[in-house]
Structures are given as C-alpha cells and as structure tokens.
Amino acid sequence: MDQEALSNLSRPNVLRVGINLGNILLVTGKSAAGAPEGVAPDMAAALAERLGASVEYVTYPSPGEVADAVAHDEWDVGLIAEEPKRAESISFCGAYVEIEATYLVPEHSPLKSIEDVDRAGVRIAVSDRSAYDLYLSRTLEHAELCRAQGLVGAYELFVNERLDALAGLRPALKGNAEALAGSRVMDGGYTSVRQAIGTKPGNTALKTFAEAFIVEARESGLVRQLIEKHGVVGKLQVATAA
C-alpha cells in the first residue's frame, strides 16, 4: 500500500482503469458479470491489489477514446499503447507487452517489402487512431492512409475498396490472411506497438508506483504468466525495457 499514490486517485481506494476493448489480444473475453478479461484487465487488477485499492474497469471501444477520456477525468490509469502524440496528454509509465505491426497485401500484390509500401499511389487501410495509425501518420512520406473504425472496419475497407495494403498487428493480420485467399502478411514490421499503463498528468506518485510495478511484473514473470493464462503465447511478447 502506498498512501501517497492512493491520494492521487479521484475516488478513495478505487483505481479506475481505462480499458480498450478493441484490442482482442489484450481483452480476450468477459466474465459472467460483464467485466473485461484478458492480459490488460489482469494487469490492472494486479496493480490495484498492489496499491491496496479495488479495481473498477471503464471500457471503451477504441484506444483513441481511452486517450480522449483522460481530459474528462474518467480514469486514473489507462491501458493503451504508448505513443508520442498520446504522451502530450498522458504520462506513460512503461510498457508490459509489445506486438509487431506490419502489412497484409492482396494476392498478386507487387509490394514485396515494408519499404515498397511507402510509394505514391499506394493506399493503406488502417484502424483510425490506433497506435500504428499514429506512427504511420508521422513516418509515411508518399503512401495514403485510408482510415476506418476499428480492426473490422479497416479490414472491410481494405477488401471492399481493393486497397493496396492493410496495416495492423501481425497476429490479427494472420487471421485476416486465413480469410482472404491468396493474401500475404509481409515479413518484418514498421514498428513495435508497446502496450503500456498511463496516468493523468500531475499524478506523479501514482506514476512512480505504476512504473515500479511494471518493471517488477516483467522481471518476476507475471506478464509471461498472464500471456500463457489467456492463450496469447506467440501473439504477445513481454516488453523489453525502454
């Protein structure tokens, strides 16, 4: 129990946790009572237990909405990918898992490598305001990003509009490839999405506490155990230290 960190909570002894339901690798189901289940909710529950508080999940359909909610004091910690644009309003405490981001291309695509994709005239479907959307928005120089709501929306846009590539996380794209004959997930990746815990700016005691918790969770094997528990071995990797 850390009294100084507890004093940063908006409600006494209740850790309100912003959870992105759109990442099916981190939230893999829900309980009979409707609470989210998966690596991310379990990490939040472990943090709350270590803090000496109860956990309350505040759920959102997309990571962008989790990020927006910090301005309205809807959560004490949010579990989304750390990213420079988000860091303008969220104090990130460190990553616990990471996932490689790459592209899916259709059958007979002339695009052979990651570098080939950033060309004039290439159109890429992407989930709006995902971490990899924000990354590609900063780094692409020639290709065009075509945004849709969520993973399903991006896949449907890719197929229906016959776009040149679909940006996403490798494990999800592998599932898409199985449903789309002849399509191919590219080797390599353009970034590694690091799923993290963030706090409201100014909550320095809670941030310090969460930082120490994340380091311990990685080093003690807790993160690895949660990956195994929720059946996402080979899809999520324990994050390396920044």
pLDDT at position 2 is 83
> Is the same domain home to 77 and 142?
no
> Is the same domain home to 72 and 16?
yes
pLDDT per position as a tens digit, 33-92: 899 999 999 999 999 999 999 999 999 999 999 999 999 999 999 999 999 999 999 999
**Does the pLDDT at position 102 exceed 80?**
yes
pLDDT at position 242 is 73
Distance CA 237, CA 151 (A): 20
Distance CA 25, CA 31 (A): 16
The domain in which residue 52 lies consists of: 3-98+193-238
Report the pLDDT averaged over residues 11-21: 97
Would you state the torsion angle of the CA atoms of residues 149, 154, 160, 165, taken in this order, to the nearest 10 degrees?
150
> Is the same domain home to 7 and 93?
yes
> Is the same domain home to 202 and 214?
yes
List residues bridging with 91 in a β-sheet.
199
What band does 1 get if pLDDT is binned at 50, 70 and 90?
low
> Is the same domain home to 61 and 122?
no
> Is the same domain home to 27 and 133?
no
Q: Which residue has the higher pLDDT, 219 or 241?
A: 219
Instruction: Determine the angle formed by the axes of helices 222-229 and 204-220, rounding to 10 degrees.
Output: 70
Amino acid identity for residue 72 in this structure: H
List residues bridging with 13 in a β-sheet.
none
> Is the same domain home to 134 and 163?
yes
Distance CA 92, CA 18 (A): 13
pLDDT per position as a tens digit, 141-177: 999 999 999 889 999 999 999 999 999 999 999 999 9
> Is the same domain home to 183 and 228?
no
Instruction: Determine the angle formed by the axes of helices 222-229 and 39-51, rounding to 10 degrees.
Output: 140
> Is the same domain home to 91 and 107?
no
Report the pLDDT averaged over residues 118-133: 96
Q: What CATH number is attached to the domain comprising 210?
A: 3.40.190.10
Amino acid identity for residue 165 in this structure: A
Q: Shortest CA distance to 208 belongs to which of 120, 98, 94?
A: 94
> Is the same domain home to 50 and 153?
no
pLDDT at position 143 is 98
- Structural domain total, the chain: 2
> Is the same domain home to 147 and 198?
no
How far apart, in Å, are the Cα atoms of 240 and each of 41, 90, 187?
A: 20, 21, 21
> Is the same domain home to 209 and 137?
no
pLDDT at position 222 is 98
pTM, full prediction:
0.88
Q: Shortest CA distance to 180 belongs to which of 152, 162, 159?
A: 159
pLDDT per position as a tens digit, 181-238: 999 999 999 999 999 999 999 999 999 999 999 999 999 999 999 999 999 999 999 9
